[in-house]
Structures are given as C-alpha cells and as structure tokens.
Structure 1
Amino acid sequence: MNIEELRLLIADVLEIEPEEVTDEAHFTDELDIDSLLMLEISTRVETAFGVPENTVVISGASTLAELHAFVVSKLVGEMPARPVIRPRPLSDPAVRLFLLHHAGGSHLLYRGWAQHFPQSWELCLLEAPGRGHLQALPLIDDCDRLVDYFHTAVAPLLDRPSGFFGHSMGALIAYQLTRRLHHEGDPLPTWLGVSAYGAPRGEASADGRPHLMSDDELRGWLRSVGGSPPQLLDNDDVWRKFAPVFRSDFKLVNTWASPRDPEPLPIPLSVFGGHRDRLIGEDRLLSWRSFTTHFRGLEMYEGDHFYLMNHQQPLADAITAAMRSAAV
C-alpha cells in the first residue's frame, strides 16, 4: 500500500480533493475528522487493504504520514510495543511531561496536546497494555503491576526536570508511580498533577464497582458519566472489543488497597476537576492537600468528568505555570 492510495481513500470519505489531505495535515484540527469519520475511515482501510479490525481507530495517528507508517507496520507485522509515545520527540528537551490516561482509555486522550506546551518540552504519553499501540499485550488489572510496568518505562527518562499529570485512573497511577520512585530513591518529578480523581481514603468507594456490572448496566453508567463516544456504547461489535478494557481498568481502580497514613509526597501537587463531575466532588479533590508537603491548590473548569476535552489550552497553561513555579 502506498501513501497515495490512503490519501485518496481519506479524501473520498471526507468528500474533498486529495490534495487537501496533505501528509502532515492534522486529522482533528485541520481536516475536522471526528470519531465517527475515523470509524468510517477505519472500516474502509480494513476492507481495501486487509488490515486487522480497528487498525485506524487504535493507531493514534494524527496525520496521513503517521497513519500510513502505522498501517504499513501492521501489514508487515513490525509494530514495536512501546508504552511511551512522544508526539514531538526532542533530542534534548528542557522538560518532560508524562501524561497518563483514564480507565478504558488510551494515549489518545491527549491527542493534540503537544501544540499547547513550550517547544522545548517533550510530552510523553503513557499507554497501558491492551489498547492502542499495545493492543497485542495482555491487560493489567492490578495497580501495583501497572505501576511496575510504567516504572520500567519512565525511569531512563527522568534525567531532567519532569512532571506527571494523570486523569481519573491516570491520577491514581501517577500518584502511585511517584510513591514508588520516592520509596526506591529514584529521581522524582518536580510536580504532580491529579485530575478528576479523589485522594485515597480507607473506606470502599460508592461508585457501584463498575467492573462487576452487567453489560447493559456498565454501558448505561458510562453514558451517565460522559466522555465515551456514542458509537462505542451503541455499536455492539465495537463495544465487545472495548468492554474488556473498561472492566480490567475499573477492576484495577476498585481493588486497589489505599495506603494507611501514607507519608506526604515531598513535591508540589496540583488538583484539577470539572464543576459538573458526577463522580468526584470538590471535597474529595481538596482532600489531596494532606498527601503532599506542597499543595498548590484546586482548579475547577466548566464540564463533567471529562472536562479536559474542552479546555486543552487553559489546562496546558495551568500545568505549564505550575511546573515552572515548582522549579523555582
């Protein structure tokens, strides 16, 4: 398959001229490709070139050039399994910011974020096994084992100022990963940001333990929370592929044993949330203040549990300012 064939296919789906689909035109920002159009493109690529189902959807590609490279690698079976994805690789970055995704999600949560940060910063998107580039790997449904996995991946990259930002389940993993680094005497991030996740507490959560719900209950619960595209929840074939990921991740969150009286982390910690989040209220977010020696406050944005999808630039500005303040 050559890139021109793929260009023609995408142009046909979008009903535009092929020359408008340049190699580096951003799918979301410049070509206005939403999740529904991406599913249509994925289906056509599967039919035309015989690649595995959902190849385009899981690729994480943001341009034609990236998608072509990914599809070719799938055809020849040479796609490397890497948990760290760098949208804008730098040979000598001033800062590395590690971003961790939510339950049932992937690094695609942070697609397009790199453009909102300083050019000298390298964003590192962490991908949990069993999705995206790591679809062939088994899912991990235990918090400590996933922290082990990410610890191995990020340890060589902590050779310069760094920050961790995690959303929902990603906040839990970012917190536990920071605790692991602290316990083992490894370099710590200069700043930790947690989003849409309450601070650890001893009692069991009251969220209905979604990993034990029936399919109908789980799909209904995800609809009420928001953030999941309708075509994922309404299409039975698509749901069957993603349901095991949701259940595995929710099991990880629900079975995690909160530490008793943990030592406050010796780094600045900032908290973020949505005003209309049905899962986490401000009181739970504010309870993070006792888990750090340098609490940098709570910032709230308009929106629900996935408020960050509509506030990329303001959130990036807040993270940048927080990290720069922490470095002083």
Structure 2
Amino acid sequence: MTTTSVNIEDLRTLIAGVLEIEPEEVTDEAHFTDKLEIDSLLMLEISTRVETEYGVPENTVVISGARTLAELHAFVTSNLVGETSAGPVIRPRPLSDPAVRLFLFHHAGGSHLLYRGWAEHFPQDWELCLLEAPGRGQMQALPLIDDCDRLVDYFHTAIAPLLDRPFGFFGHSMGSLIAYQLTRRLHHEGDPLPDWLGVSAYGASRGEAGADGRPHLMSDDDLRGWLRNVGGSTPQLLDNDAVWHKFAPVFRNDFKLLDTWAPPRAPEPLPVPLSVFGGRRDKLIGEDRLLSWQAFTTHFRGLERYEGDHFYLMNHRRPLAAAITAAMRSAAA
C-alpha cells in the first residue's frame, strides 16, 4: 500500500481544473451534482485524474459515492494511508489488541467502499474488518465467485485467524446472506460464533430476486433500468457506458449468486442474537420480509427501520453505528 500523502488543496485544484473554475469555488462541502453541476462525464474525468495522480484502483472513485470534496479526500486518503489489507480483509483502523472485531459484508455489485468512513463512529478499541469479495477493489485480479457456498468458504478462510476475541457480523443486502451463511458454517463446524449478527435490507425466507425476476439474466438495458428503479447503484455508474461495462460483470456475477442460492429447508435457528435493519422506502424488501428473520434465530433482537431506500445506510452512518454498538454490547452482556 502506497504511502503517498493526499493534500485536500491539491484535490481542490484538480477538480477546479477539470471544471475550468477557480479553486476557491470548490468548497469542502459543495455538492458535486447540485452545487458544482458535475455530470457523469465530468465525474469520470475527475476519477481518471485522481486515479492517475494517486494510484487509486481504476474506476473506484466514480463509484465511491463521494459527493463533496471532503468526502473525496476521505476516500482517497483511506485508500492510500491508514488502511491495511490482509487479502480480502481491509482494516481502516488496525489495532494490535482490539477488544472487539466487527466484520462488515458488502452488497451485490459492491465492495468494501460501502463502509468507507464507518470506523470513526465506533468505539476506539473496536477493529472494523471490511470484507472484499474477489474481482473488485483491491481484489480485482482474482476471478469472481458466483456461488454462495464458495464465497462463504473464501471468507471463512480469510477471517479464521481473526476470531480469537469477541466479534460480530453485519451484512447489507447480499452481505446479509453471506454473513448468515458464514455464521451457519461456523456453527456447523464448532468454530467460535459471533456475539451478534446484523442483517440489513435482505429477507431471510427466499432468494433476493423473488418476484422481481432473475436480474443476472436480464438484458443490459433491463438490468440498468431495474437498478435505477430500486436505487441499486449510483447514477455515475449507471449513466456512463464505459463505467457500466466495466462493472456489469460484477453485478451479474453477484446477482447469479443470489438468484441461484437455495434456502435451507427448515433450518435450525442459530443460537446467535440477531438484529434486522432496513429502509422504509426500500422497493426490494418490505417489512414482512425483514421480519421473516425471526424464525432463523433463538434470540431475535428486533427490527429497526430508517428513512430511505435500499441504500438507506448511506445517510444514517452515525445512528446505525450507535445501534450496532448497543446491540453488540447487549448481546455480549
């Protein structure tokens, strides 16, 4: 991992150069779309220049979700300094002797960037471990995995050395399925179990696609339209053909994993406290699907819903981190 420093003023000058405006017009909190009128093509140009200047992995900036200069600076910094990676495990704030480890699993088509900036909202003696599936982000060189059991195998091997202290799992969307299946694997093999399992924006009773069809088999136009409708990705990715064609295979791979997963018949409830989270305006997962998790645990800790769609968590990091911290501490008491 490079140790190149990232000066926010250099980023300000870079963006101003692309927009052909004065640097002082690019304030730290000016929204790229609303205030600076940066469209998908301009964002792609900014991304390319940032990636070239700092060696950030290709196309990660454009899908990072950065909406202001401050967020872009935090993203680039997190990718260059203060973040260590041990294969698929990224630790934004590595600790030599953490009191707790919290493992975070990302959504379909996503990467560990979903949880960028989360570490600052958790206790200082907690170590967050962001899981990165192969074929994206820092793991771009590895082949994609389109089977749930195989991806669980991959993550099981990666985190096994880190289960030497209290730990918890939290997954969003596809990440919920992986976190649940990994917990089942640990239980079946007699390995240490998480003190707590958190699942977000995913229903327990059946595969994710459900009545919406099988996204991995949709045409390109249909898949992009479906993702726009359900709020499944950023406009920068969906509206730019070059970026979309780069990431479409990742979406199809992950949706195939979800579409082909066969839920266990009458699974034994896990002896792990389980909490559920979701967005009130989520078009993919309603309250009934979220509550279906009650049958999959002996210690159901309830459902918390936040304002927003399938990616509600992007706008509720601080309260969600507080809820996760409280749930973990209550489960461990």
TM-score range, shorter chain: 0.7 to 0.9
Q: How many pairs were matched up?
A: 311
In structure 2, distance between residues paired with 1:11 and 1:58: 19
In structure 2, distance between residues paired with 1:116 and 1:49: 26
| Distance of aligned partners of 1:68 and 1:113 in 2 relative to their CA distance in 1, 3 Å threshold | closer
Equivalent in the alignment of 1:11:
12
Q: Is 1:268 aligned to residue 280 of structure 2?
A: no
Equivalent in the alignment of 2:229:
224
Following superposition, the deviation at residue 226 of structure 1 comes to 0.8
Counterparts of 1:1-328 in structure 2, within 5 Å, are: 3=4, 10-15=11-16, 39-45=44-50, 53-54=58-59, 62=74, 66-67=78-79, 82-201=87-206, 205-328=210-333
2:13 alignment partner AA: D
1:12 alignment partner AA: T
In structure 1, distance between residues paired with 2:217 and 2:99: 44
Following superposition, the deviation at residue 200 of structure 1 comes to 2.7
Structure 1: runs of 5 or more not aligned? 22-29, 71-78
2:161 alignment partner AA: P
1:289 alignment partner AA: Q
Q: Cα RMSD (Å) of the superposition?
A: 3.2
Structure 2: runs of 5 or more not aligned? 17-21, 65-71
Following superposition, the deviation at residue 54 of structure 1 comes to 2.6
Q: Do 1:6 and 1:68's aligned partners in 2 also have CA atoms closer than 8 Å?
A: no
- After the TM superposition, which of the residue ranges 289-298 and 204-213 deviates more from structure 2? 204-213
In structure 1, distance between residues paired with 2:123 and 2:23: 34
Deviations 1:118-165, CA, capped at 9 Å, x for gaps: 111000000000100001110000000000000001111111110000
Equivalent in the alignment of 2:69:
none
Q: Secondary structure at the match of 1:258?
A: coil
In structure 2, distance between residues paired with 1:209 and 1:183: 30
| Distance of aligned partners of 1:92 and 1:43 in 2 relative to their CA distance in 1, 3 Å threshold | same
Following superposition, the deviation at residue 41 of structure 1 comes to 3.5
Following superposition, the deviation at residue 203 of structure 1 comes to 11
Q: Do 1:151 and 1:177's aligned partners in 2 also have CA atoms closer than 8 Å?
A: yes
| Distance of aligned partners of 1:263 and 1:67 in 2 relative to their CA distance in 1, 3 Å threshold | closer
| Distance of aligned partners of 1:142 and 1:231 in 2 relative to their CA distance in 1, 3 Å threshold | same
1:158 alignment partner AA: L
1:13 alignment partner AA: L
In structure 2, distance between residues paired with 1:33 and 1:311: 18
Q: Do 1:267 and 1:292's aligned partners in 2 also have CA atoms closer than 8 Å?
A: yes
| Distance of aligned partners of 1:278 and 1:204 in 2 relative to their CA distance in 1, 3 Å threshold | closer
Q: TM-score, normalized by length of structure 1?
A: 0.85
In structure 1, distance between residues paired with 2:200 and 2:3: 41
Q: TM-score, normalized by length of structure 2?
A: 0.84
Q: Do 2:207 and 2:258's aligned partners in 1 also have CA atoms closer than 8 Å?
A: no
| Distance of aligned partners of 1:262 and 1:43 in 2 relative to their CA distance in 1, 3 Å threshold | same
In structure 1, distance between residues paired with 2:31 and 2:126: 27
In structure 2, distance between residues paired with 1:204 and 1:43: 34
